[in-house]
Amino acid sequence: EALLSARGTVVVQEGYALGNVGPISLQAIVVSEAGQQEPHLRGLRVDVVDATGRSDPASVSLIDMDEIARLSRALVSMVDLASAWKLVDKPYTEVHYTTKGDFVVGFSQRKQDQSAFISSGPAGAATTLADIQALTQLKDMVQTAQGLLQYK
């Protein structure tokens, strides 16, 4: 992240669009300093548009390559839990995962009603609510990024 905002440095950023989940867009990115052979940063850029009206209209999270595998495993776990619980009457229950860069993804369930949520930035930042299927879509895009970036 520091390289993206570096002063006095020519920064080259390649972006590979992965798609959208509602008002959320994902892009695999490769960032390097001009003239350098090896990229300094490979990761995921997630743009979240706030749907709650409580905060800034949009926020960006950058997720480093080393975090993508953990995020992928977390999403697989959440998709599995949501599937296992969909016909179970549960008290209010919330499951979430937070990256180092304050990207938060999760879902809540009350009785049999499930809802996904995704936010970017510090507490109270841009947040959007989505159908539980958004977790599966997000998982698929993160796994696509993982495969794409390992060869960049």
Lowest mean pLDDT among 22-26, 40-44, 49-53, 102-106: 49-53
- Asked if 142 and 148 touch (Cβ cutoff 8 Å), the reply is no
Q: What whole-number percentage of the chain has pLDDT above 70?
A: 91
> How much is the average pLDDT of 25-48?
87
Structure confidence at residue 5 as a pLDDT band (50, 70, 90): low
Sorted by sequence, the CB contacts under 8 Å of residue 111 that are 6+ apart come out as 89, 90
pTM (predicted TM-score): 0.87
Average pLDDT over residues 101-107: 92
Of 125 and 80, which is predicted with more confidence? 80
